[in-house]
Structure 1
Amino acid sequence: MTHETDAMVIAAVDGSEHSLKALEWARAAAVRHGSGLVVAHVLSDSVQLYAARRSSLYDRTEPEEAEDPVSVRIRAHLAERGPLPSEVRYESLEGSVPEALRDIGEGARMLVMGSRGRGGFAALLLGSNSRAVATSAACPVVVVAHEARGAEGADEAARASAGRVVVGLHAAETPDNVLDFAFTEAAARDTTLQVVSAYSIPPSPTMVIDSPFAVIPPEALVGEDENAVPAEREMLRSQTERLAPFRAKYPTVPVEQAAVPGDAAGRLVDTSKSAALVVVGRHHPRRHIRSLMIGSVANAVLQHAHGPVAIVPTLSESVGSAESAGESA
């Protein structure tokens, strides 16, 4: 099946409250970017079996289509919201949830889904379908945390007022398209982009465990900070060099730089309590492009973030996914 979803925002829904929250996030994103919205629902097994039965038996006494209660609910939900994107399209998909969503996501601006759907254990922070799609889709996947996770951090109003986009950066390894996605999101929101990188240093007697990290505006990097450790200064310099072309491309986006000791994952999870969106690359760009594995930082943020997280594949991954799909067809 071919879907024309290039540069559109896709909302994956299943009728659950979690997916309705993701739908609302996707609706607002489509409006911000001036793009269309595709509402995608993978039909339940029973509906798919009914369609297969009717197709095989050619039973003319059966109705042409079985009413999809999820589609009915979603249309009613969107009718109560506003504003709507210029184009809203509904797609009923067949097959397994991960495979159907990976297929429709080819070429999309982003695919948005809830962190947990109808199935699974209530205690799980991340559903199996959300993880499967986030770790293998060819387009960026935004996972919107459900209420149980969001309650641990700031409420929705506080997060919306903060409006900040946060991106995790490894200066030597993070692909350009991850940074480009983050800058694009910050520009669309007319907000600040905070860039977080981690550096390794041996413990110091004066280091305070779990102390807040310093946020450095670009102008402060002109001089030398005598209080900064050498590793921190070097990290900030690397950040500045790597971000230079993106600052030139997006001159209206304010940028804050943050260098943190140790693992960046915990800091990114912490910032997700107040950030509008946290952006991370899916995994190391030199890892096999057909691997479904996800990097440790991306995995930790995806599992524990309190707000929306964008998992962005590298461009080479997207090409590899398309080639792999073509070979298996």
Structure 2
Amino acid sequence: MSNGLVIAAVDGSEHSLRALEWARTAALRHGAALMVAHVLPDASQLYAGRRSALRHPNEPEEYADPIGDHVRRVLEASPELPPDVRYEALEGSVPEALRVIADENRPLMLVMGSRGRGGFATLLLGSNSRAVSTTATCPVIVVPHADRDAVAAASEASAGRVVLGLHAAETPEDVLTFAFAEAAARGTTVQVVSAYGLPPSPTLLIDSPFAVIPPEALADDGDAIPAEREMLRSQTRRLAPLRARWPDVPVEQAAVPGDPAGRLVAASRSAALVVVGRHHPRRRSLLMGSVANAVLQHAHGPVAVVPDLTDDSGDAAETGGAGNAGG
């Protein structure tokens, strides 16, 4: 994942400027170009349509683009920029315009804020963020607004591990590849989290902290219950090719009881990035999987929603994240 393109979707709001900073550092980390894309306000789009229809010689050649001008000033004040920075002013609805530009450019990722300029103060996930995460043909990174972000400041964005929600039998390979490539670029650990269900028990503490172990620590006996032991072994088998491809990336494995989304949200408090698949593989639908949706709604740090990139149909079967309840 290098020498590609990172797209930052901005609208001039503080939320989108946080996403822009995240995208800037991601482009530098991956040696990629940075494209800053924003959809023109309705007034500018109406003016462009009017000018095109009238073609009056006295009309100015360009219309005002205050968002683009503001973003340029923000980037000019940055300590370092990727060698190639481009700006694109788009027309149409926000989700459709971003989907089209992602289709045309096949970026490494598209980065956007969790809430737009018009979002309510208490809204966790804006409608545009949800729509783009559901339909884009590339990985979408949703960066939370300041009230939700428990991770270090953008200058320390490389700190923390990459958390991967994994269903060993169903998560598409593209999701795993994205997580390991991100961890390699950051020089950090991949923490793999899978969840399993248990019969109700008065002694089971669902909210207790979960332990992580390296795969070489797995033993044939020990204190692990059978479901946990088998899930860890399934993880190890699934992760073997990734560990061979990225031998320098440390791996931690966790098989935990309970709700997969809740476990990933808890892990997001100290993670640089949480990576989940977009859809449940058994439900060929344009609806986002329940795990991905819940993590986007409640995570305390950036979330990567990764589609199955091997299927160009746009509605491929993708996993919803970790655990057997991943859809």
TM-score by length of 1: 0.91
What's the CA shift for 1:321? Answer: 2.5
Partner in structure 1 of residue 136 of structure 2: 137
Measure, in 1, the Cα distance between the counterparts of 2:139 and 2:270.
Answer: 21
Identity of aligned residues (%): 70
What's the CA shift for 1:217? Answer: 1.2
Matched AA of 1:315: L
**Structure 1 residues 142 and 161: CA distance shift in structure 2, 3 A:** closer
Indicate whether 1:44 and 2:41 are aligned: yes
Partner in structure 1 of residue 276 of structure 2: 280
Give the alignment's Cα RMSD to 1 decimal: 1.8
Q: Answer yes or no: is the 8 Å Cα contact 2:138–2:309 preserved in 1.
A: no
What's the CA shift for 1:200? Answer: 1.4
Indicate whether 1:230 and 2:216 are aligned: no
- Give the ranges of 4+ consecutive aligned residues of structure 1 lying more than 6 Å apart after TM superposition: none
Matched AA of 1:58: R
- Tell me whether 35-44 or 201-210 shows the greater mean CA deviation: 201-210
Q: Within 5 Å, which residues of 2 pair with 1:142-161? A: 142-150=141-149, 153-156=150-153, 160=157
Measure, in 1, the Cα distance between the counterparts of 2:226 and 2:98.
Answer: 46
Q: Answer yes or no: is the 8 Å Cα contact 1:138–1:313 preserved in 2.
A: yes
Unaligned runs of 5+ in 2: 317-327
Indicate whether 1:320 and 2:313 are aligned: yes
Q: Answer yes or no: is the 8 Å Cα contact 2:151–2:271 preserved in 1.
A: no
Q: For residue 105 of structure 1, give the secondary structure of its aligned residue in structure 2.
A: helix
**Structure 1 residues 47 and 71: CA distance shift in structure 2, 3 A:** same
Measure, in 2, the Cα distance between the counterparts of 1:86 and 1:281.
Answer: 31
Indicate whether 1:303 and 2:321 are aligned: no
Q: Within 5 Å, which residues of 2 pair with 1:10-25? A: 10-25=7-22
Matched AA of 2:145: H
Measure, in 1, the Cα distance between the counterparts of 2:298 and 2:189.
Answer: 23
Write out per-residue CA displacement over residues 31-58 of structure 1, whole angstroms, 9 at most, x where no aligned residue: 0000100000100110010011011011
Partner in structure 1 of residue 125 of structure 2: 126
What's the CA shift for 1:316? Answer: 4.5
Write out per-residue CA displacement over residues 86-123 of structure 1, whole angstroms, 9 at most, x where no aligned residue: 10000010110000000111211100000001013221
What's the CA shift for 1:157? Answer: 7.3
Which residue of 229, 234, 246 maps to 1:250? 246
Measure, in 2, the Cα distance between the counterparts of 1:68 and 1:238.
Answer: 53
Q: For residue 112 of structure 1, give the secondary structure of its aligned residue in structure 2.
A: strand
Q: For residue 25 of structure 1, give the secondary structure of its aligned residue in structure 2.
A: helix
Aligned residues: 312
Matched AA of 1:245: P
- Tell me whether 207-216 or 104-113 shows the greater mean CA deviation: 207-216
**Structure 1 residues 45 and 158: CA distance shift in structure 2, 3 A:** closer
**Structure 1 residues 219 and 76: CA distance shift in structure 2, 3 A:** same
Q: Answer yes or no: is the 8 Å Cα contact 1:285–1:314 preserved in 2.
A: no
Q: Within 5 Å, which residues of 2 pair with 1:35-74? A: 35-74=32-71
Measure, in 2, the Cα distance between the counterparts of 1:9 and 1:302.
Answer: 20
Please identify which structure carries the higher helix content: 1
Q: For residue 194 of structure 2, give the secondary structure of its aligned residue in structure 1.
A: strand
Partner in structure 2 of residue 326 of structure 1: none
Q: Answer yes or no: is the 8 Å Cα contact 2:151–2:272 preserved in 1.
A: no
Measure, in 2, the Cα distance between the counterparts of 1:60 and 1:216.
Answer: 70
What's the CA shift for 1:312? Answer: 0.2
Measure, in 2, the Cα distance between the counterparts of 1:41 and 1:267.
Answer: 34
Q: For residue 166 of structure 1, give the secondary structure of its aligned residue in structure 2.
A: strand
Which residue of 276, 286, 291 maps to 1:292? 286
Unaligned runs of 5+ in 1: 1-5, 324-329
**Structure 1 residues 154 and 163: CA distance shift in structure 2, 3 A:** closer
Q: Answer yes or no: is the 8 Å Cα contact 2:22–2:154 preserved in 1.
A: no
Measure, in 2, the Cα distance between the counterparts of 1:233 and 1:204.
Answer: 19
Q: Within 5 Å, which residues of 2 pair with 1:38-117? A: 38-106=35-103, 107-117=106-116
Measure, in 1, the Cα distance between the counterparts of 2:102 and 2:157.
Answer: 27
Q: Answer yes or no: is the 8 Å Cα contact 2:206–2:257 preserved in 1.
A: no
TM-score by length of 2: 0.91
Partner in structure 2 of residue 193 of structure 1: 190
